[in-house]
Structure 1
Amino acid sequence: MPSPMALNPPSRSPSIFKKKKSFSQLSSMTTAASYLSAVHQADTRARSHDNSSVSSTPALSLSSSVTASSEDTVLNEDDENNCLAYPFTPPTSEQVFTTVHTEFGHCANEAYRCVSKHDYSKPVQEHAIEEPPYYILLTTYISYLILLCFGHMRDFFGKRFTKSYFTHLMPHNGYAPLNSDFDSFYTRRLKRRMDDCFSQPVTGVAGRTIVILDRYSTDNNHTQIFTGSKTRALNISSYNYLGFAQARGGCADAVEESIRRYGVSTCGTRLESGSSELHASAEALVARFIGMEDALISSMGFATNSTFIPALVGKGSLVISDELNHASIRVGVRHSHAQVRMFKHNDMASLECLLREVISQGQPKTHRPWKKILVIVEGLYSMEGTLVNLPRIVELKQKYKFFLFVDEAHSIGALGPHGRGVTDYFNIPPRSIDVLMGTFTKSFGAAGGYIAGPKILIDALRLRGHSGSYAEAMTPPVLTQVVSSMVSIMGVAPSSQSTKSSLILSPASSIVTLKDSAEELPGMAPPSMLPTWMNLHPALADGSEARMRIRRLAFNSRYLHQGLKKLGFITYGHPFSPIVPLLVFNPGKMSMFSRMMRSRSTPIVVVVVAYPATPLVTSRVRFCVSAAHTKEDIDMVLRACDEVGGILDLKHGVGERWGIDEVCKRAVELVHSV
């Protein structure tokens, strides 16, 4: 039976982003006793008024907040016990939330949930590129032409009349130029002019909101001057897909306990094999979570690809790579000395045509058969937001007998009804893929990466991969964050249902078959896989909180994607992708979009991307949705985009358009109509 909250959608709550007042206002609430006293008084007032309705963004939990009905206080960044008070009714003790509101938004409405899975009654969605009007392309090219002309003119005259500003580009005192004026032209003449949109310094946790350090420049962003003040903004720019980037909560408590036990470095915890018992536990847990026989973990996500791909292929081997694969894959392939061919992005016809050619022709000159053919794709592409056509690639794999490597850096944790990536989303057995790679830096709120596959392959990679021999092991706090967040997604099996297996038990024995599908997926994690000192909160241990996060992320992703389309914007990507690129085309509009979003009454921090990370004329804003966002947060982003997009002339999409009020009102209908 649905809860009263689900039957009565909450009204829109006031913004939490307020101008800062003096920190002295909170001086009387610096002790835990005063915190509890203030909350108790607010709770008593709420009960006396007999208020049964609760906003979808209520006040903080008892352990992390102070609630005041009359004063409009703000988050005290310098206070050890950060607090945030709201002018609306706090939750009662039966409705207490366990997360800090600024880090993870409170949303009790079950209507704002969705399940991320592929509907096999429909074909796999192809990557469709919507073209803008010709005048947009023409003005974009003209803007680059003007930039080139004026930039080279300034370089020409500057080297002759203001040499002091160009010493790094000219021979000086017998030294060669430090930089090439041609190679550094784009950096000097375009990127530097919009450097305030990039590398914004922040402090604190990059959760639902983020605190940015205010700065300004008096020399066209050549240098930045910090004002000393800070601004809290809505954060839709971080890869915090499941919202585990939290300074408080069950995972943070486990990390704190690991620091007490192990310290913050690997010193004293490494065994002769180069890893600790916690390290071995994490690898076994990763293999069980992914559904593979074995796994290894690396302390750096980029290095996971760049150091282990050379151990997979070498001379006489062929790597077939998607043209939009990540730089870490490209670096790893170059170091392997294998031949490389690329196919059009997510184009299965192009891939099959290339497979036929390379198999029939063999190696260049000798035409001998290839030693190995390895196809490398990404599960979710970070710049386009597109999802790999995994069912079709698996069909081609069975037909042409190549090895398949899937990089799930962005898809693991963010896709699938169980949060286990593209195999979970498409309901494909994980072991039909040879190598599954992923990182812990996105959905799990940690660092590092993993490679999962057959045990014989993982054993070989431990010996031949450069990271295994030369890189440092992951630190215990990072390993604890990985274990706690991953276990919260899986859930911990009751002791009566778990086997008395040791940590080194092969994860292959933990595979179970789901009753409602033919897919094989890991079951819950047995308590023996967790450190004996790790005591997770019940909501984390039974997996209920993580399931809520996965479903909230799916809703937020679809809502933002469809909302932008209905407002008339051109967007890329899959409807379930938490990465939503909005095309702005002109580089000048790109920087203006970022500045206008940041200067709103409620600041919104976004990521803008341009050449060379994207093609020249497809500059874009890349929204990164999180489960930490509430429906009201997505409303706020859509309203801001609607206003800024109208000013900058960005609405060039085709199809039926809705007004912003209609989009916000019919959000649930939009999500389920995709």
Structure 2
Amino acid sequence: MAVKKLTSDLKQKLIQQSLHRKLKNSAAEADKPVASLNGSAIPDKFCRFDQHPGYTQMQIMNKGAEQLGVESPFFRVHEGLAGSTTTIEGRELVNFASYNYLNLSGHPEINQAACQAIEQYGTSVSASRIVSGERPIHRQLEQALANTYGVDDAVVFVSGHATNVSTLGYLFGAKDLIIHDEYIHNSSIVGAQLSGARRLAFPHNNLDALERLLQENRHQFERVIIVVEGLYSMDGDFPDLNRLVQLKQQYRVFLMVDEAHSFGVLGKTGKGLRETFNVAASDVDIWMGTLSKTLSGCGGYIAGESALVENLRYLAPGFLYSVGIPAPVAAAALKSLEIMAREPERVVRLRSISEYFIAKARKLKLNTGDSEGIAIIPVILGSSVKAATLSSALFKQGINVQPILYPAVPEKSARLRFFLSCEHTPEQVDTTLDKLAALL
């Protein structure tokens, strides 16, 4: 039996090495310069999508998974609400794969608010807001967000990803510097690239390294901004906001905090990173967040001083040239804010079940990395094959949790990523972690 197991392990290792070589070679081939070509001399790979490097990499990864007998965990269809439980393929499963942290998506009051907005405004505002898409519900939501943050104003974009892309892409330029945590979301990286500004990354949550970058580079640029997240969605940890504010003030730079996952989660009442650190909202220049997690909608927002918000409202391409968010989505987010303020016990329950989860995981000697144990908890497995295999095995046993695989994370950091809801129970956590430990 030992020989058989060794052979199986060796086979997986060899397949993984082969996949990595193929991916590396594919990327290297894509980076080769195009020779002077004309007419029929142009190779197929430059005019066919089935030979695009990205598609080629997908095919290699899918073939590798097929060879290992691993089912794809992606694009599974949820047949109803996705909270602490969900229904997929006609089966009810315990669900750890949704951002419905406070269990507000599907709340009867929120559904009713959305339906009323449909009755009054329809399903689309049918234009950019600056032209003729403005509705009262838009400004009501933005003022409610500003009041929640304790800042002058807020502006809502139709997409969370586009919020970061458009804000950074518009506000900064070739004479500026954008410094960000190495784990920052793709949307901020794309926004920085679009801006034309110089971009530097510092090691994750290493604020000493950030300060060294500021010491070495601040004087070479006009505007400089530090971009961090309030709660990192891969690792479930957060930065020291007090130190970030100190650095921002010392080096006279802007500070932007992406609260996509921290708003509604961190702090005694869910007001995010500033509530955790008791920092004045005005100490951060740009607060960014999304409507798709705790606020039960879709889209993103920027909150801050009037000059910032008015500038974006009139000139940021992602707002100016895009349709306004649908009124029912705005109504759902507005009602979510109301319920979140009215029922702070939801945040308390989320924290309680998160602490229960991470304590049990650590008792079972599972590697939870640097997670702070609130809403997002990874179990690091160190192998994409192992992560995908365990996700599939748990799915068959009634538990839905997504694997995070290479190249989304380094191979040694491949993991299962658990998103907690305030409605998860200790029994669901016990069942899940016991089954995971048994499979391991």
Please state how far the C-alpha of 1:465 moved relative to its aligned partner: 0.5
Q: Measured at CA, do residues 150 and 258 of structure 1 come closer, stay the same or move farther in structure 2, by a change above 3 Å? A: closer
Checking the alignment, whether the CA contact within 8 Å between 2:50 and 2:56 is kept in structure 1 is no
Aligned to 1:608: 403
Please state how far the C-alpha of 1:267 moved relative to its aligned partner: 4.0
2: CA distance, partners of 1:180 / 1:448: 33
Q: Measured at CA, do residues 185 and 475 of structure 1 come closer, stay the same or move farther in structure 2, by a change above 3 Å? A: closer
Q: Measured at CA, do residues 467 and 150 of structure 1 come closer, stay the same or move farther in structure 2, by a change above 3 Å? A: closer
Q: What is the correspondence of 1:580-619 to structure 2 with a 5 Å cutoff?
A: 580-600=377-397, 603-619=398-414
Other structure's SS at 1:196 match: coil
1:190 aligns with 2:27: no
Checking the alignment, whether the CA contact within 8 Å between 1:234 and 1:604 is kept in structure 2 is yes
Aligned to 1:454: 305
Please state how far the C-alpha of 1:320 moved relative to its aligned partner: 0.7
Please state how far the C-alpha of 1:201 moved relative to its aligned partner: 1.6
Q: What is the correspondence of 1:175-186 to structure 2 with a 5 Å cutoff?
A: 178-180=49-51, 184-186=55-57
Aligned to 1:201: 77
Checking the alignment, whether the CA contact within 8 Å between 1:573 and 1:579 is kept in structure 2 is no
- For structure 1, list consecutive stretches of 5 or more residues without a partner in the other structure: 1-136, 153-169, 214-229, 363-369, 491-542, 646-674
Q: Which amino acid aligns with 1:236?
A: F
Q: Which amino acid aligns with 1:234?
A: V
Please state how far the C-alpha of 1:191 moved relative to its aligned partner: 3.8
Aligned to 2:94: 234
Q: What is the correspondence of 1:511-530 to structure 2 with a 5 Å cutoff?
A: none
Q: 1:404 aligns with which of 248, 255, 267?
A: 255
Aligned to 1:328: 187
1:560 aligns with 2:357: yes
- Summarize deviations over 1:434-455 as a string: whole Å, max 9, x none: 1100001111111111001110
Stretches (4+) displaced over 3 A: 137-143, 146-152, 174-186, 267-274
Please state how far the C-alpha of 1:386 moved relative to its aligned partner: 1.5
Aligned to 1:358: 217
Q: Measured at CA, do residues 358 and 594 of structure 1 come closer, stay the same or move farther in structure 2, by a change above 3 Å? A: same
Checking the alignment, whether the CA contact within 8 Å between 2:49 and 2:55 is kept in structure 1 is no
1:483 aligns with 2:334: yes
Checking the alignment, whether the CA contact within 8 Å between 1:557 and 1:575 is kept in structure 2 is no
Please state how far the C-alpha of 1:396 moved relative to its aligned partner: 1.3
- Summarize deviations over 1:224-272 as a string: whole Å, max 9, x none: xxxxxx22211111011111122x5222222222222222221499685
Q: Measured at CA, do residues 348 and 140 of structure 1 come closer, stay the same or move farther in structure 2, by a change above 3 Å? A: farther
Q: Which amino acid aligns with 2:409?
A: T
2: CA distance, partners of 1:264 / 1:311: 29
Q: Measured at CA, do residues 191 and 560 of structure 1 come closer, stay the same or move farther in structure 2, by a change above 3 Å? A: farther
Other structure's SS at 2:239 match: coil
- Mean Cα displacement is larger for which, 612-621 or 571-580? 571-580
1:427 aligns with 2:298: no
1: CA distance, partners of 2:166 / 2:381: 36
Q: Measured at CA, do residues 342 and 149 of structure 1 come closer, stay the same or move farther in structure 2, by a change above 3 Å? A: closer
Q: Which amino acid aligns with 1:190?
A: M
Q: Measured at CA, do residues 262 and 390 of structure 1 come closer, stay the same or move farther in structure 2, by a change above 3 Å? A: same
Please state how far the C-alpha of 1:555 moved relative to its aligned partner: 0.9
Q: What is the correspondence of 1:31-46 to structure 2 with a 5 Å cutoff?
A: none
1: CA distance, partners of 2:214 / 2:46: 51
Other structure's SS at 2:112 match: helix
Checking the alignment, whether the CA contact within 8 Å between 2:378 and 2:417 is kept in structure 1 is yes
Aligned to 1:145: 17
Checking the alignment, whether the CA contact within 8 Å between 1:415 and 1:576 is kept in structure 2 is no
1:642 aligns with 2:437: yes
Checking the alignment, whether the CA contact within 8 Å between 1:553 and 1:627 is kept in structure 2 is yes
2: CA distance, partners of 1:286 / 1:138: 54
Checking the alignment, whether the CA contact within 8 Å between 2:130 and 2:314 is kept in structure 1 is no
2: CA distance, partners of 1:351 / 1:335: 22
- Summarize deviations over 1:22-66 as a string: whole Å, max 9, x none: xxxxxxxxxxxxxxxxxxxxxxxxxxxxxxxxxxxxxxxxxxxxx
1: CA distance, partners of 2:74 / 2:335: 32
1: CA distance, partners of 2:10 / 2:386: 14
Aligned to 2:29: none
Q: Measured at CA, do residues 332 and 146 of structure 1 come closer, stay the same or move farther in structure 2, by a change above 3 Å? A: closer
Aligned to 1:627: 422
2: CA distance, partners of 1:350 / 1:151: 31
Checking the alignment, whether the CA contact within 8 Å between 1:435 and 1:452 is kept in structure 2 is yes
Q: Which amino acid aligns with 1:276?
A: R
Q: Which amino acid aligns with 1:145?
A: Q
2: CA distance, partners of 1:266 / 1:383: 35
- Summarize deviations over 1:268-316 as a string: whole Å, max 9, x none: 9968564111111111111001111111011110000011112221121
1:345 aligns with 2:200: no
Checking the alignment, whether the CA contact within 8 Å between 2:84 and 2:420 is kept in structure 1 is no
Q: Measured at CA, do residues 282 and 314 of structure 1 come closer, stay the same or move farther in structure 2, by a change above 3 Å? A: same
2: CA distance, partners of 1:488 / 1:176: 52
- Summarize deviations over 1:524-543 as a string: whole Å, max 9, x none: xxxxxxxxxxxxxxxxxxx1
Checking the alignment, whether the CA contact within 8 Å between 1:308 and 1:332 is kept in structure 2 is yes
Q: Which amino acid aligns with 1:349?
A: D
TM-score, length basis structure 1 = 0.58
Please state how far the C-alpha of 1:637 moved relative to its aligned partner: 1.7
Q: Measured at CA, do residues 250 and 440 of structure 1 come closer, stay the same or move farther in structure 2, by a change above 3 Å? A: same
Cα RMSD (Å): 2.6
Other structure's SS at 2:302 match: strand
1:384 aligns with 2:181: no
2: CA distance, partners of 1:291 / 1:394: 17
Q: Which amino acid aligns with 1:187?
A: M
Other structure's SS at 1:371 match: coil
Please state how far the C-alpha of 1:616 moved relative to its aligned partner: 2.4
Q: Which amino acid aligns with 2:269?
A: H
2: CA distance, partners of 1:628 / 1:477: 25
Q: Measured at CA, do residues 151 and 358 of structure 1 come closer, stay the same or move farther in structure 2, by a change above 3 Å? A: closer
Q: Measured at CA, do residues 550 and 151 of structure 1 come closer, stay the same or move farther in structure 2, by a change above 3 Å? A: closer
Q: What is the correspondence of 1:64-463 to structure 2 with a 5 Å cutoff?
A: 142-147=14-19, 178-180=49-51, 184-191=55-62, 193=65, 194=70, 196-213=72-89, 230-246=90-106, 248-267=107-126, 272=131, 274-360=133-219, 362=220, 370-463=221-314
Checking the alignment, whether the CA contact within 8 Å between 1:387 and 1:577 is kept in structure 2 is no
Q: What is the correspondence of 1:484-499 to structure 2 with a 5 Å cutoff?
A: 484-490=335-341
1:578 aligns with 2:429: no
Q: Which has the larger radius of gyration?
A: 1
Q: Which amino acid aligns with 1:627?
A: C
Please state how far the C-alpha of 1:585 moved relative to its aligned partner: 1.3
Q: Which amino acid aligns with 1:205?
A: L
Other structure's SS at 1:628 match: coil
Aligned length: 410
Q: Measured at CA, do residues 303 and 195 of structure 1 come closer, stay the same or move farther in structure 2, by a change above 3 Å? A: farther
Checking the alignment, whether the CA contact within 8 Å between 2:176 and 2:198 is kept in structure 1 is yes
- Summarize deviations over 1:448-484 as a string: whole Å, max 9, x none: 1100111011111112201221111111110111110
Aligned to 1:122: none
1: CA distance, partners of 2:229 / 2:239: 7
- Mean Cα displacement is larger for which, 236-245 or 203-212? 203-212
- For structure 2, list consecutive stretches of 5 or more residues without a partner in the other structure: 1-8, 25-41
Q: Measured at CA, do residues 147 and 318 of structure 1 come closer, stay the same or move farther in structure 2, by a change above 3 Å? A: closer
Please state how far the C-alpha of 1:185 moved relative to its aligned partner: 4.9
Please state how far the C-alpha of 1:359 moved relative to its aligned partner: 2.5
